[in-house]
Amino acid sequence: MTVRAKKHLGQHFLKDEHIAKSIADTLTETNYNTVLEIGPGMGVLTKYLLKKPFTTHVIEIDSESVEFLKNTYLNLSSRIISEDFLKINISDFFKEEPFAIIGNFPYNISTQIVFKTLENRHQIPEFSGMFQKEVAQRIAEKEGSKAYGILSVLAQAFYDVEYLFTVPPTVFDPPPKVDSGVIRMIRKENYSLPVDEKLFFKVVKTAFGQRRKMLRSSLKSLFLSDELRQSDLFTKRPEQLSVAQFINLTSLIEQDAS
């Protein structure tokens, strides 16, 4: 028995056992006893996770995959969450317990998975897995590069991100159109910002909303004083600013408003 791949659920099943094992091995196994795999499908990754010393839970939206998992991994049954990851309230399942996230993620919702992780970061010390390569690069990229953007700044404000390896389309069934990339994010020791977090998110999103423009003009909608807009930082474009500079920028804007 196998699961028929459904395109609308982003199903591309990994066929290569070595790669599945290497993805499971990206977890450092520190600071948590529980792991949540998102989108296990037929469990190619799950079976390596089940050999590890932590407790593995999985969340899968596709009822056919859930049936398959129940019949194949008998010990897993009580830890299969048959839901949409984007819709669940994490504390309903994990209370306040810390857990790591892993997966060969559904690519159609991969950035939303990252944003939901960032929202719940107080509970998620580690996150690793496979994305379409372009998204994996965007999360890991540093300032000065084309791929550097909202996702990079927000992820790296709270996590140290590492791009680990690239995976070709040929090891999936059906093969996706693009290369895939595996990353790991380890939460920073200090993952609360010294500035208002909502304002930080707003500054980053507004600046990258017009990434070709200098901050002086892209941040106009934030009603900043002329004096502040004359400062050096405001002659830069968003892709030139490091995460630390975005935090500094937010702090200047906070002081400007007060």
In the block, residue with structure tokens 């540093």: 142
**19: contact with ligand SAH by CB under 6 A:** no
How far is it, in rounded angstroms, from Cα 179 to Cα 81? Answer: 29
Shortest CB 209 distance to ligand SAH, Å? 27
Shortest CB 192 distance to ligand SAH, Å? 28
Would you say 13 or 94 has its CB closer to ligand SAH?
Answer: 13
Among 84, 119, 134, 160, contact with ligand SAH (rule: CB under 6 A): 84
Among 27, 35, 38, 101, contact with ligand SAH (rule: CB under 6 A): 38
Amino acid at 52: K
Among 65, 128, 218, 250, contact with ligand SAH (rule: CB under 6 A): 65
How far is it, in rounded angstroms, from Cα 47 to Cα 5? Answer: 19
**12: contact with ligand SAH by CB under 6 A:** yes
In the block, residue with structure tokens 């996150």: 127
Would you say 116 or 138 has its CB closer to ligand SAH?
Answer: 116
Transcribe 187-213 into DSSP letters: E-SS-S-SS-HHHHHHHHHHHHHTTTS
Applying CB under 6 A, the span of 8-16, 90-98, 141-149, 224-232 interacting with ligand SAH comes to 8-16
| Dihedrals phi, psi of 37, to nearest 5 degrees | -95, 130
In the block, residue with structure tokens 């939460």: 187
